[in-house]
Structure 1
């Protein structure tokens, strides 16, 4: 164990820096960073605490078995006074019931034997106000107890609650239902005049001892939390991954390690001290990451605000000198991608072309061609949109247009109900395009008639846009359609845009659609909506795009491809490094088990 301790402490500055990417929604980066290494440090502290390896043992503090026996006598007295229920008959604990070794002087006991009261709360009758608040699973969070989320119960239902159901200072509250919420635990700090009861999704544990926080530490430790999973070989919960239950009978019978009372208090004090240090380390790390990200964004803003290729070169040289310091996180690489797109749409990624004809001539030819091909619906859409007002300078040979003018067909997909009958027409849905690329996994099929299939059949270079979704980050996302092996249609929450590639390369439009400039045009008008976020065909047709001459479009695509490929390699290097550090954290902290 000494060697393990040395490894852990000697490499603390390395493995506690491990991070993990977590999904998030909304404007900006699609991911945020989780401090995995510090989470593992917290877990390690709890595990050491409940195994007797965090503080020394002292013989003069007595032993756990004596403390358990004393609490058993206290419980018997409460039962005689009818202040506690008679304990259920449970099998005696044997060595095979113990999940790990404990120090000499500690004892194992079933939770029932060291508790005065263990019971689920009641299903409440809610009211908008009242004298009694009901504690739900939302109140029991890993970062503490949140009374603000508690609702009230009706006055006429209060008499249905026995005195034992009203919560007391030191009650341990353990969430007992629901994936994602079950297992969260907190010791109640009753610092309010409100009378509180628990609802039926929370188990209340009222300890006989004066140190309930030790039980909270044990229930929070990985040895218990890993078992709050129905697939675990020794699961504490029942049900499926969609709806799990922590039954009262399981809580009653749970074996818990029991140190002498004085040692329990010392353990709690040491855990609180170390968790405070973790809080400080976490805050310091978060501040460092935020400062680093601000530095990256500031430097890249200078780059994207360049007014000429010469100024761009000068600003890039400044970044290149500090490249290895700046681009060390997944977020910084995503910012670099955004900067690439921002430079691309301003004409700063390509040399100054002297085309045979400027983009304005190209777009006029395209518009005339589209008007001959477009159907009446598309013409109606075009009549509703205004001419683009240039939002920023572009090269003289470029021109502004909008998606409606660039396309000759902008159409919603089928509303037919789709299923798994693969003898019907395959239909692309939001899951098939939400990543910006078309994927043919998890296909569904629909009963499309010949006319509908003719109207909705996809071709190579079509663009599909998600027009409706609950996530603002997903709505309005474009996907480019490659060559397909058969006829595919698309579903009603998607919009197909068809552009003549002889004039404008759809891959250029697809790339530009990922830029912050286009995302703002889509997101800002619908940001404050509740529920489903929607963008309609007229709004899509109005999106402004800066268009280079045809040959320069190829060069822009080539430059973006090349720079994104470099970003992919850089990102892989960062991810691999983070995974290695996370593996080190897992390995070192796992050795104490």
Structure 2
């Protein structure tokens, strides 16, 4: 293995997706002859190819394999790199027999429930193929075009969406049959199967780029291209050394991966424990001590996007708990604000601007999850807002371009921007509309809890959404309240066929209401801290990019 690679293993493994890329690099170095040194005493691959040709001719003469149809030879320009001394260019068509598969009629019981494994793409995994769920009988072999695939054959998925992820190539440890989505590659002796499998995996990115046909629903390998693709063949002795070295290095990758997983898990638990300590503090002194413990290790703790997101969520929780800014006894208490909100809702209902509010039950003792701060009131969210439920529009009721008299129509969070929605449909219908200043809340589907501010004068909303219209509240504080409730809403939506929350789930949620002046101060503090979190994340991404560029440069040097 290149000294450049071994000397910088920690850097490569620590890059984004580093261990995955390291595995790919090991395989690519292997098939380029850069993983183990060449030995001039090894018999050259050209002699191995002669013996393989003799073995192939013998098997054809004895009727043990079919004579293969001639395929168009690959162009010299398709040979991707120079070969080391002793290596030769070859192709799968030259060194292996190819077998296709099929599915015997499922309606004929004589073909099934035998003892010969029948392998399909779902049986493909990371290890050798030792068995399969379905088995066929000897009758299926005798009466259909199924062939028995010998031990040591390499099974390759040729058709399926699985190609979008990787190129599975497993070795079968038992004689088997295969279905039509697989091909069996049986290397001629004395060619070892494990090196041929490694050869396929080491050139996977070229195969998936150049030998795959894109269909409307699935991808498929173009076998005639794959079978004549040039592969570098090392001497037989070097093949064994390469396979042993790859096994050794993959085991090292496994250990690095386990170590990283343990470290990531420990890091996540530590961050969560310290952040939980903040939300569970009893008083200002306790909070100050917990924050100091966190601050001393800030740059060690918040080194991942997920940890910074956890910090953001904790800051929101602290904000709505009254622990982010100090209370001021000179502020008008929230009880007075609550009276004015109730009066305002009665006035708006009398003017026909909102529906007459239904009375909500008082927050019970069993719902008092925590003590509220001085000057705050524990209320139900519905006491503070007007809630508008979205309505479904049929395909004939909306269109894709603006028209006179039409308003934007928002179907769900897929059209949410970072702050404001970005609708792409329009309608004349006004069955459920939101206005500028409302907060949209996703209430159905996988995005339950996501929010956006409405910046259009009028906007029609679908049943995936509800519009929250604050009454005499700071609008940004109301959105922070909603964001802090996201996990609560998601927990309410679990277990339903189409995940979703009801109007009651939103209206009945207990929340702490601070004085209006404190709401303003909370918003200013949260905005400041969220901006700092975003700066921290930006620096993290910059550092990651630098790390990735360094790792990429080392990889280029290693394969050069």
Same fold (TM over 0.5): yes
Contact (CA 8 Å) 1:428, 1:490: kept in 2 or not?
Answer: yes
Alpha-carbon distance in 1 for matches of 2:64, 2:385: 78
Alpha-carbon distance in 2 for matches of 1:83, 1:162: 18
Contact (CA 8 Å) 1:185, 1:216: kept in 2 or not?
Answer: no
Partner in structure 2 of residue 15 of structure 1: 12
Alpha-carbon distance in 1 for matches of 2:182, 2:330: 71
Q: How does 1:109-124 map to 2 (within 5 A)?
A: 109-119=90-100, 121-122=102-103
Bigger Cα Rg: 2
Cα deviation 1:367-409 (Å, max 9, x = unaligned): 3433554599x97994686746221122031122233222223
Partner in structure 2 of residue 83 of structure 1: 64
Alpha-carbon distance in 2 for matches of 1:468, 1:123: 45
Partner in structure 2 of residue 543 of structure 1: 509
Q: Does 1:165 align with 2:147?
A: yes
Structure 1 residue 146: Cα displacement: 7.6
Alpha-carbon distance in 1 for matches of 2:553, 2:537: 24
Cα deviation 1:463-499 (Å, max 9, x = unaligned): 1122221x3xx22322222x33x54322232122222
Q: Does 1:181 align with 2:178?
A: no
SS at match of 1:533: coil
Q: CA 1:54/1:72 → structure 2, altered by over 3 Å: closer, same or farther?
A: same
Alpha-carbon distance in 2 for matches of 1:161, 1:546: 76
Alpha-carbon distance in 1 for matches of 2:359, 2:104: 58
Structure 1 residue 557: Cα displacement: 1.0
Q: How does 1:175-254 map to 2 (within 5 A)?
A: 175-182=157-164, 183-190=166-173, 196-209=176-189, 210-221=191-202, 223-229=203-209, 235-239=210-214, 243-254=218-229
Q: Provide structure 1 residue ranges, at least 5 long, that are not aligned to the other structure.
A: 20-35, 230-234
Structure 1 residue 284: Cα displacement: 1.1
Contact (CA 8 Å) 2:154, 2:185: kept in 1 or not?
Answer: yes
Contact (CA 8 Å) 1:137, 1:202: kept in 2 or not?
Answer: yes
Q: How does 1:44-193 map to 2 (within 5 A)?
A: 44-93=25-74, 95-119=76-100, 121-122=102-103, 125=106, 130-131=113-114, 134-141=118-125, 143-144=126-127, 151-152=133-134, 158-159=140-141, 165-182=147-164, 183-190=166-173
Q: Bigger CA drift: 47-56 or 351-360?
A: 351-360
SS at match of 1:181: helix
Contact (CA 8 Å) 1:403, 1:543: kept in 2 or not?
Answer: yes
Aligned pair count reads 547
Cα deviation 1:493-532 (Å, max 9, x = unaligned): 21222222xx2223212212222xx2332222332345x3
Partner in structure 1 of residue 338 of structure 2: 363
Partner in structure 2 of residue 456 of structure 1: 432
Cα deviation 1:217-265 (Å, max 9, x = unaligned): 22222x4324414xxxxx1111258632112222322222211222211
Partner in structure 1 of residue 325 of structure 2: 350
Q: Bigger CA drift: 50-59 or 563-572?
A: 50-59
Contact (CA 8 Å) 1:166, 1:197: kept in 2 or not?
Answer: yes
TM-score by length of 2: 0.88
Structure 1 residue 574: Cα displacement: 0.9
Alpha-carbon distance in 2 for matches of 1:217, 1:12: 21
Structure 1 residue 548: Cα displacement: 0.9
Q: Bigger CA drift: 416-425 or 335-344?
A: 416-425
Alpha-carbon distance in 1 for matches of 2:80, 2:312: 49
For the aligned residue pairs, the C-alpha RMSD in angstroms reads 3.2
Q: Bigger CA drift: 339-348 or 380-389?
A: 380-389
Q: Provide structure 2 residue ranges, at least 5 long, that are not aligned to the other structure.
A: none
